[in-house]
Amino acid sequence: MVQEVIVSVSLIVVIAAILTLIARIIRQPPIIAYLIAGILVGPLAFNLIGSTSADSTVIQGFAHLGVAFLLFIVGLSLDFRLLKEIGGVSSLAGLIEILAVGGIGFIAAVLLGLSNISALYIGAVIAFSSTVVVVKILSDKKEIDTLHGRIALGILIVEDFVAALALMIIPLSTNSSNILVIASKFGIALLTIFIVFFIAFKWFDKLLDYLARSQEVLFLFGIGWALSLATLFDALGFSLEIGALVAGMSLASSKYTLELGGKIKPLRDFFVVLFFVFFGSQMVGPITKTLILQSVFISAIVLIIKPLIVMLTLRLFGYGKRTNFLTGLSLSQISEFSLILTLLGFTTGHITQEIMSLAVLIALITIGISSYGIYYSQAIFNRVTNALFFIEGKKQMDRTPEKKYYDIIVFGYHRIGYKILESIKNMKMKVLVIDYNPRTINALEKSKIDAIYGDASDKEFLSQIGLDRAKMVISTIPEQGANIAIAEVIKMSNSSATFIATAEQPPIALVLYESGVDYVLIPHHLGGYYAAGMIEKFKTDQHKYKELGKKHRIHLSRGKANSNY
């Protein structure tokens, strides 16, 4: 059995890798490739993970782990403070979109002959848009910080919150229809969540400061926390997924959020592949004419009606037709949450396998078409702009909001960074410090200096800190791998920032120059040049050396205090 599972997983990964490469070439998100891989390895094609096979059970377990890690990372981004930041526009637009599209989806499904419970699931499936797809494509296009990108992201955050509530409510109705029983279970869930957040708020700041001294320990804590709460909520009669989501949300306000997400992302990616492949493999019945017509009809609602609802809602707030069109077009697909809800509904017995197959087809159609729509949104808008008079807002609020950015980003404070920081302060430029020492971060925050805990060698982390908008990037970290990673991310983001790195040895400096670094600091070389100039200037005058030594001691003491050694 073990050998069969290994062979099946190996074949699944190979097929998914090949299809992902093809998807990248044709500008499709990986989710499409994973779902198609699932169809190919399922009963409709190669039957590698048939519904009754032993390896299917194992892969289904992997799939649930993938969803748990996915929702843990989603939870890390769902800081309650974000609800204030995204404002009333995104909050109201998100709620209107969910209710309107969900209601239309329910009516459409009933008209297509589906049962009321199946129609409810279809309404929920098409009500949510994909955070993974939208953020990835907008980031690739450098539009995540535009006005329409920020509004779309705000709507997605609201949708994720509502989807989280749905994940909590669905298991409650599985074993009982008694309102009092459901209410008591819901109360237990809310109490558990309150206790979790209280513990996280009360003790986790100091605990994480201590754990962060070792990146391996911090990584293991994140996994352990996610799986522990997933197991707890499963034992309480809820799903593993909602427990992992709560685990992430409880850490969302921590300064280690980006670091935890970056470390767990590779593990999540592997298991998520198996989730989407497993979901695609659930298309076991024949693809009938009726199923195709149903999927096309419902997909048309997602691709046409859903964006229109978003556009008209934003029009009420006075935004221009360009912002309204680009925002609506960005949300014209179903979500990974939609597939999770469908799988949960199938697991609890609410819906049939046919509805699962319908959800797979809707995902393939909407994600596939909307991806091209988002990639070429500007060109599409230019072609149809004259016909979009009906979504033009009166207040003309179509302007880019003020962004928070940093002129200079410094990696590593405790070596020579503190001295560099003094010079930057004198230049009156905005600076962000990245360091791997929790105590250094705390000390900088007390000094009102913007600082983030993070790993300079983690490209996922680097892509989120605004390197593309910086004028200068300075790394005092002498690690070759970290500096090359920073150089590669700067290059991929098409940034014009000046990059100054640090190396201990000349051969490493030459490698860094080859990788695109503008200037490489070699501390002992610079020290040698400085010492030579000092000796040439002071010669053998002991008094001058002592005076300079006093100033040096003051700077050393200040750097030691600020670094909190």
Domain total of the chain:
2
| pLDDT at 110 > cutoff 90 | yes
CATH of the domain at 14: 1.20.1530.20
> Would residue 525 count as lying in a domain?
yes
Q: What is the average pLDDT across 2-16?
A: 82
Both 316 and 194 in a single domain? yes
Asked if residue 497 has pLDDT above 60, the reply is: yes
Strand partners, 408: 431, 472
Same domain, yes or no: 39 and 129 = yes
Cα 222 from Cα 220, distance rounded (Å): 5
What residues make up the domain containing 458? 408-563
Is 543 inside a domain boundary?
yes
What tens digit of pLDDT does each residue of 384-428 get? Answer: 888 888 888 765 444 444 446 788 998 987 656 667 777 777 787
Which residue do the tokens 């070439």 mark? 25
Q: What mean pLDDT do residues 480-485 have?
A: 88
Residues 163 and 226 in one domain: yes
Q: How far is CA 460 from CA 134, 187, 264, 559, in A?
A: 17, 38, 11, 30
> What does the pLDDT look like over 231-288, one tens digit per residue?
998 888 777 878 888 898 898 888 888 888 888 888 888 888 888 888 888 777 678 8
Cα(532)–Cα(433) distance, rounded to whole angstroms?
31
Single out the residue in 366, 391, 416 at which a domain terminates: 391
CB 405 within 8 A of CB 469: yes
Q: Is residue 368 part of a domain?
A: yes
Distance (Å, whole) CA 376 – CA 379: 5
Contact call for residues 413 and 435 (beta carbons, < 8 A):
yes
**Which helix (H) or strand (E) segment is 519 a member of?**
strand 519-521
Neighbour tally for 531: CB within 10 Å: 11
* Residues 301, 375 within the same domain: yes
pTM for this entry? 0.69
Q: Is the torsion defined by CA of 452, 455, 458, 462 positive or negative?
A: positive
Is the confidence at residue 98, as pLDDT, over 90? yes
Among 187-191, 193-197, 361-365, 526-530, which is the least confidently predicted range? Answer: 526-530
Does an H or E element contain 346, and which? helix 336-347
Mean pLDDT, the chain, integer: 83
Residues 419 and 275 both lie in one domain: no
Report in angstroms the alpha-carbon separations of 73 from 78, 110, 266, 435.
9, 35, 11, 22
Cα 39 to its chain centre, rounded Å, is: 26
- Domain of 546, CATH number, reads 3.40.50.720
Are β-strands 519-521 and 498-502 bridged in parallel, bridged antiparallel, or unpaired? parallel
Do 352 and 466 fall within a single domain? no
- Supply angle C-alpha 429, 433, 438, rounded to 5: 155
Question: Which residues are registered as beta bridge partners of 521?
Answer: 502
- Are the C-beta atoms of 162 and 98 separated by less than 8 Å? yes
412 and 386, same structural domain? no
On the CB side of 385, CA atoms within 13 Å amount to: 10
Q: Is 401 within the bounds of a domain?
A: no
3-state secondary structure of 463: coil
Contact status, residue 452 vs residue 465, Cβ threshold 8 Å: yes
- Tell me the pLDDT band of 334, cut-offs 50, 70 and 90: very high
Please check whether residues 451 and 507 belong to one and the same domain.
yes
